[in-house]
Structure 1
Amino acid sequence: MTIQPPHPPPTSELKADSALLVDRTDAVVTLTFNRPDALNAFDVDLKEALRDTLAQLEADRSVRAVVLTGAGKAFGVGQDLREHASTLGQGSTDLDTVRAHYNPIAQRLASLPKPVVAAVRGTAAGAGASLALLADFRIGGPGTTFLMAFANVGLAGDTGISWSLPHIVGRARALELLLLAQPVRAQQCHDYGLLTELVDDDEKVLPRAQEFAARLAAGPTVAYAAIKRELSIGTAGTLSDALAAEAQAQAICGATTDHQQAVTAFVAKRKPVFEGR
């Protein structure tokens, strides 16, 4: 799988029957989970495609923002339990897929040095909810539902949800959502902070997410990456850790063309043009 050079027309990188569709418009890449008949349940093909594609996007500096979405009626309902049942039927209870797939996907997504926007149409359940919550921003519509479904199948959370969910809603609410494992509807998702923005029509979710991502892609993406790293360190470490991270980040950002041009634009009273370098 290859990522196109900068500024191509919108195209699909993979065949229509591929588990993950990769589309690019200018500096924004949209990743679409493409198993609509299974409500975008994650089988091995989809997990491996997502893991490997995120690694490529991380290395491609011409990609400046990413959108995650699902084909059809759902964002994604988590692990493909039919595939999982066949493994259990062979006598295996070792969930190797967590270490082989979900953990590296979560780590890559959370640390991606560019903004990530999730277009959450329909249900985001289990690992699907986990992936949406690892995005920097989440756009939803009237039909959006989050379901922390792990306990419903006798499992603990995975794909980073024990880290992301309490950061968003607090420990007490996270415990409630994970233990009770009941659907959280659109307005409540917005009230809890699970959604950044709630639009009035499900058909507007993806276009709004792509518009949001395009705005971010036109911004100072080196600074965005540094801010994401600062917050990861600052929320988990000490004040000394945060101050050290901030000093390092400012040294990097202060040397960028974006910063220099922004200062010049400010003095000249004009809007800066950021290039992500």
Structure 2
Amino acid sequence: MSEDFLRAVDAGVLTITIARPQRMNAFGVRAAWDLAGFIAEADADPGIRVVIITGEGKAFCTGADLAGEAAAPQEALDAVNAYVRAIVAASIPVIAKVNGPCAGMAVGLALAADLTFVADTAYFLLPFVGIGLLPDAGTTALVPAAIGRTRAMGMALLGERVYGPEALAAGMVTAVRPAEELDGAVAAAAAKLASGPREAIAATKRAMNASTLAGLEGALRRETDEQVVLLQTDDHQEGVAAMLGKRPARFAD
């Protein structure tokens, strides 16, 4: 088992917990590949009917671990894209239980899920422009598909936090619950799905995704092409240094 995740199965429901609370559940390339593999394995297992993804501790996931393992830009993006594709392609439903901050590539993780349940204190954040990058993990397709171009552009360009109640009002998430009620709400939804008609659920997921996410594959390729270039710029290096140093970035004129 990957040390970055905890996995538990109960009554046909696989819960995958990102277990890096010391890093606010930010994770690296190897873990991204692991997550994609776990989802594919679950989908191939007739005993698994639902997958829940959540985070240990106070955060859901704060994105890529910028202070962690080094990887070539293409490899890193391929790994992130792999778990987005795995979630969307899975015939079984995937639920994101967003228990705390959800930032960067984790927004793609949460919104690729079929159902997204959020604690009222949790928030979503696309901080990419602030570190000289463009949003990735499919968020240039997933976020506009959920809330429309104008709101999505505001999130991407201004980097403002969108808290649970605002995300619900915008149509970004399935439900918002007080933090202490989140586990129960997700467990109830998972139990209903696990006892439901597997083929009908799979067909519904395929049809909904075909109607709303037809541009996802193109977005993943476009994000990757652009990001590979941006990851090598001075602006990105300055953005990361500023973030890690907790100071304002000084981008080139």
What TM-score, normalized to structure 2? Answer: 0.79
The alpha carbon displacement at 1:146 in A equals 0.6
Match of 2:141 in 1: 163
Letter of the 2:183 counterpart: L
The corresponding residue for 2:60 is: 75
Cα drift, residue 236 of structure 1: 5.8
1:113 pairs with 2:91: yes
2:43 pairs with 1:58: yes
Partner of 1:227: 204
Native 8 Å contact 1:67 1:210 kept in 2: no
**Aligned residue type for 1:189:** A
Q: Distance in 1 between matches of 2:134 and 2:58?
A: 26
Query: CA distance change for structure 1 residues 120 and 236 in 2, over 3 Å: closer, same or farther?
Result: closer
Cα deviation digits, residues 74-125 of structure 1 (max 9, x gap) = 00000001026x56xxxx6x342101x1111111111211111111111000
* 2-structure distance, mates of 1:24, 1:181: 36
Give 1:231 deviation, angstroms: 2.0
After superposition, residues 30-49 of structure 1 pair within 5 angstroms as 30-49=15-34
| Gaps in structure 1 of 5+ consecutive residues | 2-13, 238-277
Q: Does structure 1 conserve the Cα–Cα contact (< 8 Å) formed by 2:64 and 2:105?
A: yes
Deviation at 1:24, TM superposition (A): 0.6
Counterparts of 1:232 and 1:142, CA distance in 2: 27
Match of 2:181 in 1: 204
Partner of 2:167: 189
Mapped to 1, the partners of 2:213 and 2:27 lie a distance apart of: 30
Larger radius of gyration: 1
Counterpart Cα distance in 2 of 1:219 and 1:38 = 37
Aligned match for 2:113, one of 112, 127, 135: 135
- Aligned to 1:83, the other structure's residue is in SS state coil
Two-structure CA RMSD over aligned residues (Å): 1.7
Query: Match of 1:22?
Result: 7
> Which amino acid in 2 is paired with 1:97?
A
Classify the secondary structure of the residue corresponding to 2:52: strand
Q: Are the equivalent residues in 2 in contact too, given 1:33–1:69 (CA < 8 A)?
A: yes
- Looking at structure 1, the residues matched to 41 and 34 of structure 2 have their Cα atoms a distance apart, in angstroms, of 11
| More relative contact order, 1 or 2 (CA 8 Å, 6+ apart) | 2
Match of 1:111, as an amino acid?
A: A
Query: Could you tell me which residue of structure 2 aligns to residue 215 of structure 1?
Result: 192
The code of the aligned residue for 1:185 comes to Y
Structure 2 gaps, min length 5: 215-253
**Aligned amino acid, residue 103 of structure 1:** N
Tell me the equivalent position of 2:222. none
